[in-house]
Amino acid sequence: MSHSVLLSILLLAPFFGFLFNGLRFKSKNVQVAGVVGTAMVGISFICSVLLFSQLASLPEAERSLRAEYWNWLNVAGLQIPLAFVVDQLSAVMILVITGIGTLIHLFSIGYMSHDERPSKYFSYLNFFVFNMLLLVLGDNLVLMFFGWEGVGLASYLLIGFWFTDKEKAAAGMKAFVTNRIGDAGFLIGLFLLFGEFGSIVFETLNAQAPTVQDMSWNSNLTLACIALFIGACGKSAQIPLYVWLPDAMAGPTPVSALIHAATMVTAGVYMICRLSNIFIAAPNALFIVAIIGALTLLMAASIGLTQWDIKKVLAYSTVSQLGYMFLAVGVGAFNAAMFHLVTHAFFKALMFLGSGSVIHAMHEEQDIRKMGGLKKHMPVTHWTFVAGWLAIIGTPLFSGFMSKDEILWMSWHSPLGSWYLWLMGVAGAGMTAFYMTRLMALTFWGESRVPSDVHPHESPTSMTLPLIVLGVLSVFGGFLGIPHVLGKILPGHPPNFFEHWLDPRLANIPGLAQANITMEWIGIAISVTTAAVGAILAYRFYIIRKDLPEKVTSKIKGLYELVYNKYWVDEFYFGRIINPIVEMSKGLWMYIDVNFIDKITYWTSDMVKGAGSSVRSMQSGNIQQYALLILLGVVVVIFAVVMG
């Protein structure tokens, strides 16, 4: 089968699922809706595997499968083809989107079995997958932006899926509005790049990128990269636009796994990697990316230390892990960023689905203070969650270790990196190990604190099977990209397949020196030790000495309150930005809309109505009145003639 046919099926299968379930949105048959929705994404996954196979069979220099359907727009030098490309970069993304997407759809069949609107849910989920594929496969910025907006709409619909709850509806609106701010930055960057290079096609942009780095802060290239990064901050929840993602946990838990862990939130990282040649030529923009990424990973990790909602802990963990990815691209380590994107999709999707399994068993309870001892009731969920926990805290040879330690090393070793970026990353690793061990201890270990009227139980096979698959990937997925320093000591000296695969599509770091093996091993030892200390402390706090958390927080009450309340950022936004804008808008509405525009409109309409009433009185249908008017007209004419 030709690649163009496979590409068409890949894109249209989830779109067909969206239409099928959308047209029967009132149906409550979860089996039909779930099977159709899952099958459509499964078909896309099969197409992704076949396309990957075709791509891998080509010589390295020719690995690009392009399908152009027609010339969408050609105006004043702007050419936008409706074209899609599968290359080394997009091939990785479509495998993640459709592979993990299929597992999450399957999980949803069991999770949404008691919902009143399963058809609408699976329709929205398929719509999201379609737009995510559009985003990563488009060969130009405009097609990417269409997918970018499409996943934003799907995210809004799914976060606010239970919209009868005002808080959940507000969470969907918050995500939508926050992302619109970032999208404005994306558009500005798009226009600046077109003005600079006369094209919006990725291949052309990367080919025309300057070979000499632009050190200016006010050049079109630097400003374009900064504007695009603002778009990435919105979609990928970085400072200052991260505030929507924790609230997005209001949606069904599988939505959190698909959109807010594995796919949509990584779109900003993918976009920067897709334009890596452009960004590497603007080091000042990359410096901003690295600083924001490092600050975000630290801030979100610190908030994760204090949260009690199981999904909120994972949400802030996601924001933190995305910070690691932006730290990587900020120091020019695009390969490490993409690798962490993939491994994070494995273990974070696993833990979100695992939390969904727990919530399902706990009758919608999400407070980890009301859990404990669940491992004996939910063995599959527990052991798969353990795999995700070991991966995210950076246990050696697990997937998270392979990718995160590569980022930490590059943040030190790269000419675009520095010791303080590395230190921030290591500190984040220690906090990650603490709050994730805390989550494990309070949810699965120790004594049960489950209310007496709740009887936890293991989830059905449709929910546990995806957990097992993702658990295996969380354990072994990291061997796709074994860092060179580890590959040299492992039996058979396995190469870094992931790096070799992506190298032709990603920019190289200018002036990158040969790695100092001793320093790299020291860095690994420090990060692993830091994570181990964090995990041991958390186990001691929440399993061995349960009185310690209260003692410690009482001594740092002010700091604890600050972190627990998320640094009062939401309150600052509402108090200093949102509410003043709302009040100003009310003033504009009252004085301009009501007292000026409305009054002019009413005055004009009254004049027209008055004139119409006068004319209407002459067309009453009364014969005597018509005769009188004719007589008066005749008298006037005679008088005029006589006087003339």
Domain ranges of the chain: 1-139, 173-564, 569-643
How far apart CA 490 and CA 508 sit, in angstroms, is 26
pLDDT of residue 619: 67
- Residues forming beta bridges with residue 59, ordered by sequence position: none
How far apart CA 421 and CA 415 sit, in angstroms, is 12
pLDDT of residue 364: 87
Tokens of 148: 């970018």
Q: Are 410 and 333 in contact (CB under 8 A)?
A: yes
R_g of the chain, CA atoms, integer Å: 30
- Residues forming beta bridges with residue 140, ordered by sequence position: 201
How far apart CA 453 and CA 569 sit, in angstroms, is 37
Run of H or E including 90: helix 88-111
Listed in sequence order, the residues at least 6 apart from 558 whose beta carbon sits closer than 8 Å to its beta carbon are none
pTM here is 0.91
* Cβ neighbour number for residue 565 with a 10 Å cutoff: 13
User: How many CA atoms are closer than 13 Å to the CA of 512, on its beta-carbon side?
Assistant: 17
pLDDT of residue 486: 86
How far apart CA 343 and CA 480 sit, in angstroms, is 10
How far apart CA 188 and CA 181 sit, in angstroms, is 11
The letter for the amino acid at 292 is I
Distances from the Cα of 73 to the Cαs of 130, 203, 326, 360, in angstroms?
Answer: 22, 18, 33, 49
pLDDT of residue 583: 85
How far apart CA 102 and CA 37 sit, in angstroms, is 9
pLDDT of residue 618: 64
How far apart CA 210 and CA 217 sit, in angstroms, is 15
Complete DSSP assignment for 288-345: HHHHHHHHHHHHHHHHHTT--BHHHHHHHHHHHHHHHHHHHHHTT-HHHHHHHHHHHH
Complete DSSP assignment for 406-425: HHHHHHHHSTT--HHHHHHH
**Pseudo-torsion of CA 596, 598, 604, 607, nearest 10°?**
-110
How far apart CA 384 and CA 270 sit, in angstroms, is 28
List the alpha helices (DSSP H) in 452-597: 461-476, 484-487, 497-502, 517-539, 548-555, 557-564, 569-572, 579-588
Q: What is the DSSP letter of 80?
A: E
Q: Which of these, 224, 385, 203, lies nearest to 310 by C-alpha position? A: 385
pLDDT of residue 608: 86
* Cβ neighbour number for residue 478 with a 10 Å cutoff: 29
Q: Which of these, 262, 312, 291, lies nearest to 98 by C-alpha position? A: 262
How far apart CA 228 and CA 190 sit, in angstroms, is 7
Positions of the chain with pLDDT lower than 50, given as ranges = none
pLDDT of residue 635: 85
Q: Are 308 and 369 in contact (CB under 8 A)?
A: yes
